[in-house]
Structure formats: C-alpha cells, structure tokens
Chain A
Amino acid sequence: MTTVSHAEQMLQELGIGQPAEIDLEAIAYTLGAQVRYRPLDGCEARIIGSNGSAIITVNSRSSRMRQRFSIGHEIGHWRYHRGRILVCRPEDIGRSGDWSSLSPERIADGFAADLIMPWYLFLPRARQNPRLTFQVVRTLADVFDVSPEAAAIRLIESRLYPSILVCHAAGGRKWFRASPEVPTRWFPQAELDPDSYAFDILFGTRPDDAAPHKIGADAWFDSSEAQYYEIQEQTIRTGDRRILTLLTLNHSRMLEDR
C-alpha cells in the first residue's frame, strides 16, 4: 500500500483529493470512454472499444453502488486489456451457454477497488477507528458510495485490523476474506455453529448485531487451539438472504505464526 497504483495515480493526476470528487463517468471520459445506462440481460456491464474510443454500458436495473463498481471494473479493462476480447470466443456469441470468467476479471476488480476506494483517501479515514465494527464499515461505505460488503473487504485488506470477514447463506459459507495479519490456520468453519450469534440471525429472527459480542473461538474455528481463546463476532444481514460476519482476533497468541 506504500506504492501508488495506476488507478490512484490517475486520480491524483486529476487533482482528486476527496472521495466525493471521484466522478467515474468523468474519469472514464478523460480516457476516451463514454458511460451509458441501459437494461442489460446478459451481464452487469460491458465495454466495447476501438481506436482509442469506448462505450461502457451499465445495467440500468442494478443498484447505483453496483453500477459504480461496474464502471470502475470496465475502466480497468480499458486500462489493462485494450484490444482484447475477454468475455468469450467470438463463436460463442451465436449460441447460448455460460461464459467462464477469466483472470483479467480480478485485475479489473482490483483496479475498480483502487479507483473507488483509493488507499490515499481510504486509510486516513479508516485509521480514525481503533476497532473494526459494522458501524465503521457503514460510515466508510457512505463516504465512498460503495456497498457495505465492498467497504468491509477494503477494511480487511487495509492491514489495520486482525479480522476476518465471512459471508454465509443457508447452504453454508459462501466466501471469506482474512486480513494479512491473521495466520492462515484460522480458517472459518463451512457451516455456522448453532452457538454463534450469526446462526440466530441467519436462521432465526434475531436482529442484526449493533455491536460485536465476545464468543469462544471454537464456535468459528475447528482448530483444537480455538478452545483457549475468545474472539469478537458481529453479524449483519445483506438483503440477499446472506449474512456478513466480522470476526476480530484480538488475542496476541492467535496472531502468532506457528
């Protein structure tokens, strides 16, 4: 995070010094790309370009936050993958079928995150919060006009907190992101433990957690070592029958590499 990414360099060259100044349509325009909003059935967004000009089309039915991330993602493709056809082989266009994602998608996602939540604007605001909670997540999500999920992932990546963000649905764990400070042996269980507060939020009527709770680490981790520690747990619903849980590992011995 000490090096300035291409996205951040672009923002600085445009004199952007506040999150509210990150106008993605204008930024795209400086790169020769126009943004259009139109109903799309087959994708969230697309970019078509030729000879230095491009049209980014974003699904007009998506949420504004999702549209913003999509614009950043397509600008990333325009920056890194110009002249390439990434969605599929051309012969696939004429027939139905799913198109698998390609590794450039991750590059474009990273570019979008750097463009929408650049570290030089994000970290000073994150550092004002000694503890990571969903209140902090919502505050930063509002400031940077992103979803709580995107802000939470950015906070996890910030290296400021020894935390893990876990997403669960009724079928089990969907994904998780751990801070680089958290040793890899702390791998969250695939199924929610009935003792966890998250279990009652996903399957019951318990309201979202307003603040973190203390809980035994063995409710979240299979490791036998987990029985000796307590961690902090806070869970919110995300509106798509999923929950997000922040686990914070404050015990110094949990953070030691073995």
Chain B
Amino acid sequence: MTANRKDDREALDRLMSVMVDDLLNMPEEELIAETLSEGHNPTEEAEAIRAVIEQAARACGQSRLKAAKNAVAAGRAKQNQNVVRLDASAARQRLAAILAQNVDSGVSLAARNQSQLSDADVFGMLADLKELGIALEKKTPESES
C-alpha cells in the first residue's frame, strides 16, 4: 500500500514536471493565444500566477526564518565550553600566531570599535577559534610532517 502511494506520487511529480516544461517551452504568443481562447485575460492570469509564486517564496522564506529562530532558541542554553589552558601572555602570542597563519587561509575576524584587548577578550577569541575548529596548539616540525 505504502509502495503504491509512493509510486503514485512519483508519477504525479513526473506528470507535473512534464506539464511545467511544456508551459515553459511554449512560445509566448502561443501561450497568450491559448489563454485568450479559453476566455481568460493573459495579464490578469500572469498577475495571479505571479502573486501565487511570490506568496510561495514568502512562505518558504518565513519557514526558513522560523526554523532559524527555533535553532537559536535551542542553542541559547549551550555555551561555549571550550577552555583555553594558557597563561595570558602565551594566549596573546597564540592568537597573533593563529591569525598570522590564517590571514590567507580563510579565517575572518572583525571587531567593532576595537581598542586594546583585555586578557578575557583574548581568551574569548581563542575559545571561539577552537569552537570553529581552528587548532590552537603550536605546530611542531613533527606535527607538520
């Protein structure tokens, strides 16, 4: 029974695709003539279809936004658990080294109204980098080979 329903749905999808392709490939004049022959106003029909498409696009966007809101709410409780075990001076050196290594390899960093970084800021940035999968450990000759 379930298999039959699936087959039916796939058959219907194929039929819809054929009909849509048929419409898309039809010359504009022919489409207008056919619409007129059926007693419809082509401009009104086009506007109605455009409204349906816009409504569908809006609904799709709203659905994406709703999913994002739910994900944000679900993730709110989750804090960055990454602990960076370095002293402040070493942490600053590591951050500078990581950014120097990554200038040409895709790390993005921007800060608004940036002034001097506190130790807490530096540790926070290292924790963010760790969460994003950037290795904080110093590369040794062995690890690079």
Q: How many chain A residues have a CB neighbour from B under 8 Å?
A: 60
Q: Which of A26, A36, A85 contacts B80 (CB 8 A)?
A: A36
Q: Which of B110, B116, B117, B125 contacts A86 (CB 8 A)?
A: B110
Q: Which residues of B contact A91 (CB under 8 A)?
A: 96, 100
Q: Which residues of B contact A154 (CB under 8 A)?
A: none
Q: Which of B58, B65, B109 contacts A85 (CB 8 A)?
A: B109
How many whole Å from A13's CB to the nearest CB in chain B? 5
User: What residue of chain B has the Cβ atom nearest to residue A76's Cβ?
Assistant: B110
Give A42 to B107 CA distance when docked, in angstroms: 20
Give A40 to B97 CA distance when docked, in angstroms: 22
Give A50 to B65 CA distance when docked, in angstroms: 23
Q: Are A42 and B99 in contact (CB-based, < 8 A)? A: no
Give A97 to B114 CA distance when docked, in angstroms: 10
Q: Which residues of A contact B108 (CB under 8 A)?
A: 47-50, 54, 77-78, 81-85
Q: Which residues of B contact A87 (CB under 8 A)?
A: 109-111, 114
User: What residue of chain B has the Cβ atom nearest to residue A40's Cβ?
Assistant: B121
How many whole Å from B99's CB to the nearest CB in chain A? 4
Binds B, one of A14-22, A115-123, A158-166, A217-225: A14-22
A38 sits at the interface (CB 8 A): yes
Q: Are A93 and B120 in contact (CB-based, < 8 A)? A: no
Q: Are B100 and A90 in contact (CB-based, < 8 A)? A: yes
Kindly list the 8 A-B residue pairs having the minimum CB-CB distance in the complex, ordered from nearest: A15-B61, A41-B118, A15-B62, A49-B108, A90-B99, A46-B111, A26-B68, A77-B110
Interface residues of B (CB under 8 A from A): 57-62, 64-65, 68-69, 71-72, 75, 80, 92-93, 95-97, 99-100, 102-103, 106-118, 120-122, 124-125, 128-129, 131-134
